[in-house]
């Protein structure tokens, strides 16, 4: 079985080549590094949640609107799985879809 991710680098060349999605690529790499800082490498089923301010701290070089757009693009392309919060809440939990990161 091919390893699709390592602690430091996520293999996602198709995201760049086919979609020309540089911002999404950078965001996915940072989210991957954050996920690996939270868990061990054996468990790739880690959901993360951040407030708007926390996303802004993680990506200070982008506006909040840009971050929201990037996350939505990653959802649409399929690189991020999404789970919504409680009924009536606008919270979203994200998990990297490692199956397509080859």
Domain ranges in the chain are 13-100
pLDDT at 8 (0 to 100):
59
Chain segment 4-30, per-residue pLDDT in tens: 445 556 766 666 667 788 899 899 989
pTM of the model: 0.80
Task: Return the H-helix or E-strand segment holding 21.
Answer: none
Domain 13-100 falls under CATH 2.60.40: no
Question: Smallest Cα–Cα separation from 52: which of 91, 85, 9?
Answer: 91
Position with higher pLDDT, 72 vs 52: 72
Task: Pull the structure tokens for residue 80.
Answer: 């991020």
- Report the pLDDT value the prediction gives residue 52, as an integer from 0 to 100: 86
Percent of the chain at pLDDT above 70?
Answer: 76
User: What distance in Å separates the CA atoms of residue 41 and residue 72, rounded to the nearest whole number?
Assistant: 26
HSE on the CB side for 98, CA within 13 Å?
Answer: 19
């Amino acid at each position: 079985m091919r390893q699709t991710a390592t602690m430091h680098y996520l293999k996602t060349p198709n995201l760049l080549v086919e979609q020309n999605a540089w911002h999404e690529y950078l965001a996915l790499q940072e989210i991957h590094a954050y996920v690996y800082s939270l868990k061990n490498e054996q468990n790739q089923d880690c959901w993360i949640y951040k407030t708007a301010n926390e996303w802004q701290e993680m990506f200070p070089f982008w506006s909040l609107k840009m971050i929201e757009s990037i996350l939505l693009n990653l959802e649409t392309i399929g690189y991020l799985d999404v789970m919504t919060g409680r009924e009536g809440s606008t919270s979203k939990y994200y998990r990297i879809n490692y199956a397509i990161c080859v």
